């Protein structure tokens, strides 16, 4: 590390009272309202804060996936869910909201146990958001409007929306319940049934989540869960002939694979993929707020967020001071026990992921970047020394072509760039194969207005850290995705539209074969 690097904050020691005791010994798939026997291959589940194994999951093979898809199909055809009056479906969605909220602490602890995100963040942000997803879609379906066309003389046509069928929902490990709940809520709100596959690294909270939905009274088979690796369970699910549509959140390469498998059967897909989002700080910004937000933008969720502001572009006039203060604050971030409220940054989700993230320190050096802070494994002490901690890291890149500016690192790793003019900033921001989100910090209205038009990304956040407006579409340009999530966007994806045309009076029909 640079000799002038700022001093580090003391690491957070483990609070023994809250070390893992919660996880079930075996996490099984949940099909047609009941846990499967769990006879598949056993895979270990680890607590990233200590590296200790906290349980196992039983992997679903193709036969178990088939049972799950058949259960979902039966529920679609026979449970009455697909044809339930909207008001009754809304009542159920609100019950699901309530039960998730009531169990937010339990779900957050389970999530923490195989993910290592700070418990407070999981409880206050992820689980509240998960509950809200059900309320949001309950309200959305209650307000849906119809379409009628009567411009054609003598006819009236109206459009009805019907559920598509059985959805395969594939979730990543970085925010399992928060992201999967959006997919589940959207799919079932429009009358579909589904099979959910979490990442095999993070099965714990989603298994309990699906149980809770049933405890609240959701009919059996409407939501099914299969656990296992992507290449085994995920692939069997996407390729299953009785799946009607696929919603995937995860990495870009996996997205390519899933879309090609689904494409062979012409199944519609939405893909929410990776990002390398620019956080542009103009000299005209409220610098204090921009600094706070730059830290939050890269270090929250332990840096493992698709929408992280991972490339921080700072105008040259303010860059030295801004970057020095960022590095100072980053070095003081409290790294350690994710179950302690004092902790600000927990471990990465797996040993392999930590090795990958730390590998970018060498990549940065090889490309001529300057290490500003961090860049090493962190050792909080005690049991936590076995955990997958990385100290908050920032580098100053020589140019936007550096690999740390082009590759998604998906960890607590910020890459700084500086710019001299507006045009240079926007050109750098857009010079990436990704296009998920952008952040703009400026109090100069023409700059804001122009940047929001010229940035190539699915979302532009101006003078704010990440904030999701669920009514609006969310998704990426370029290799960050295909399709959108959000109110209208989910309605378009999870329903088939059917046009019914009626004559106003009996029509004269041409008489053939007289
Ligand atoms: P992966 O692409 O590795 O995995 C995502 C999910 O897909 C996992 O459940 C995985 O299973 C499964 N999977 C893997 N291969 C296949 C396959 N062939 N068929 C079906 N399913 C498969 O992503 P990560 O879990 O590593 O998540 C991180 C990535 O997700 C990052 O790139 C991030 O940017 C992106 N992401 C995007 C978001 C967005 O909204 N745009 C939001 C959050 C994350 P398993 O893990 O068990 O192998």
Within 10 angstroms of residue 385's Cβ, the number of other Cβ atoms is 15
**Is 272 an annotated catalytic residue?**
yes
Ligand 1 neighbourhood includes 59 CB (under 6 angstroms) = no
Q: What is the pLDDT of residue 9?
A: 53
The answer to whether 315 and 361 have CB atoms below 8 angstroms apart is no
**Is 306 an annotated catalytic residue?**
yes
Q: β-strand 223-225 against 193-197: which pairing, if any?
A: parallel
Ligand 1 neighbourhood includes 479 CB (under 6 angstroms) = no
The strands making up 370-373's β-sheet, listed across from edge to edge, are 370-373, 393-396, 413-419, 311-315, 278-281, 437-441, 459-462
Predicted TM-score (pTM) of the model is: 0.94
Q: Which CATH superfamily is domain 278-462 in?
A: Aldehyde Dehydrogenase; Chain A, domain 2 (3.40.309.10)
Provide the pLDDT confidence category of residue 20 given band limits of 50, 70 and 90. Answer: very low
Provide the pLDDT confidence category of residue 23 given band limits of 50, 70 and 90. Answer: confident
Kindly state the tokens that stand for 81. Answer: 């869910």
Spacing, Cα 282 to ligand 1 middle (Å)? 34
d(CA 128, CA 408): 27
Q: Quick check: helix, strand or coil at residue 424? A: helix
Long-range contacts of 467-475 (CB under 8 A, 24+ apart): 468/129, 470/132, 470/133, 470/136, 471/140, 474/272, 475/270, 475/272, 475/436
The answer to whether 480 and 271 have CB atoms below 8 angstroms apart is no
Residue in 172, 198, 225, 490 to alter for ligand 1 test, most ligand atoms within 8 A of Cβ: 172
d(CA 186, CA 453): 29
Ligand 1 neighbourhood includes 486 CB (under 6 angstroms) = no
Q: Quick check: helix, strand or coil at residue 83? A: coil
Ligand 1 neighbourhood includes 273 CB (under 6 angstroms) = yes
Using CA positions, which residue lies closest to atom 14 of ligand 1?
230
pLDDT tops 50 at residue 14:
no
Residue in 59, 198, 251 to alter for ligand 1 test, most ligand atoms within 8 A of Cβ: 251
pLDDT digits (tens, 9 = 90+) for 215-269: 999 999 999 999 999 999 999 999 999 999 999 999 999 999 999 999 999 999 9
Ligand 1 neighbourhood includes 258 CB (under 6 angstroms) = yes
Q: Indicate which residue of 64, 121, 272, 344 is catalytic.
A: 272
Where are the CATH 3.40.309.10 domain residues in the chain?
Answer: 278-462
Where are the CATH 3.40.605.10 domain residues in the chain?
Answer: 26-273+476-499
pLDDT digits (tens, 9 = 90+) for 286-339: 999 999 999 999 999 999 999 999 999 999 999 999 999 999 999 999 999 999
Using CA positions, which residue lies closest to atom 25 of ligand 1?
172
Within 10 angstroms of residue 427's Cβ, the number of other Cβ atoms is 13
Cα–Cα–Cα angle for 450, 451, 456, rounded to 5 degrees? 125
Residue in 248, 254, 348 to alter for ligand 1 test, most ligand atoms within 8 A of Cβ: 254
Chain centroid to Cα 27, Å, comes to 22
Provide the pLDDT confidence category of residue 3 given band limits of 50, 70 and 90. Answer: very low
Q: Which CATH superfamily is domain 26-273+476-499 in?
A: Aldehyde Dehydrogenase; Chain A, domain 1 (3.40.605.10)
């Amino acid at each position: 590390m640079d000799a002038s690097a700022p001093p580090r904050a003391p690491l957070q020691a483990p609070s023994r009272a809250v070390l893992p005791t919660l996880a079930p010994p075996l996490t099984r798939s949940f099909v047609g309202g009941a846990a499967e026997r769990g006879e598949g291959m056993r895979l270990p589940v680890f607590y990233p804060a200590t590296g200790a194994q906290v349980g196992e999951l039983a992997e679903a093979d193709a036969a178990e996936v088939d049972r799950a898809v058949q259960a979902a199909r039966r529920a679609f055809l026979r449970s009455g869910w697909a044809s339930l009056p909207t008001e009754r479906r809304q009542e159920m969605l609100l019950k699901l909201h309530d039960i998730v909220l009531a169990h937010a602490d339990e779900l957050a602890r389970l999530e923490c146990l195989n993910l290592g995100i700070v418990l407070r963040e999981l409880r206050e942000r992820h689980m509240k958001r998960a509950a809200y997803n059900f309320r949001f879609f309950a309200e959305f379906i209650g307000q849906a409007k119809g379409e009628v066309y009567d411009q054609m003389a003598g006819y009236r046509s109206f459009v009805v929306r019907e559920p598509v069928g059985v959805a395969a929902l594939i979730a990543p490990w970085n925010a399992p319940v928060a992201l999967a709940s959006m997919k589940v809520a959207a799919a079932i709100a429009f009358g579909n049934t589904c099979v959910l596959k979490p990442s095999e690294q993070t099965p714990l909270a989603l298994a309990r989540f699906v149980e809770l939905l049933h405890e609240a009274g959701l009919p059996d088979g409407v939501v099914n869960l299969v656990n296992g690796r992507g290449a085994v369970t995920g692939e069997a699910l996407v390729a299953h002939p009785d799946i009607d549509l696929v919603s995937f959140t995860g990495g870009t390469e996996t997205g390519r694979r899933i879309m090609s498998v689904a494409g062979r059967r012409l199944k519609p897909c939405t893909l929410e993929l990776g990002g390398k989002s620019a956080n542009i700080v103009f000299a005209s910004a409220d610098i204090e707020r921009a600094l706070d937000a730059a830290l939050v933008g890269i270090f929250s969720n332990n840096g493992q967020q698709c929408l992280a502001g991972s490339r921080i572009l700072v105008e040259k006039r303010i860059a030295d001071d801004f970057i020095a203060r960022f590095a100072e604050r980053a070095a003081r971030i409290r790294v350690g026990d994710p179950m302690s409220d004092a902790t600000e940054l927990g471990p990465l989700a797996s040993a392999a992921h930590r090795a990958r993230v730390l590998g970018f320190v060498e990549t940065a050096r090889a490309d001529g970047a300057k290490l500003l802070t961090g860049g090493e494994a962190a050792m909080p002490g005690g049991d936590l020394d076995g955990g997958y901690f990385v100290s908050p890291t920032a580098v100053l890149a020589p140019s936007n072509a550096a690999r740390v500016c082009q590759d998604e690192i998906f960890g607590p790793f910020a890459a700084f760039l500086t710019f001299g003019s507006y045009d240079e900033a926007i050109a750098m921001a857009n010079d990436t194969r990704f296009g998920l989100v952008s952040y703009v910090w400026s109090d100069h209205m023409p700059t804001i207005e122009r940047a929001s038009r010229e940035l190539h990304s699915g979302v532009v956040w101006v003078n704010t850290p990440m904030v999701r407006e669920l009514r609006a579409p969310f998704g990426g340009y370029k290799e960050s995705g295909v399709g959108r999530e959000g109110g209208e966007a989910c309605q378009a994806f999870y329903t088939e539209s059917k046009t019914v045309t009626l004559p106003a009076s009996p029509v004269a029909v041409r008489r053939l074969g007289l």
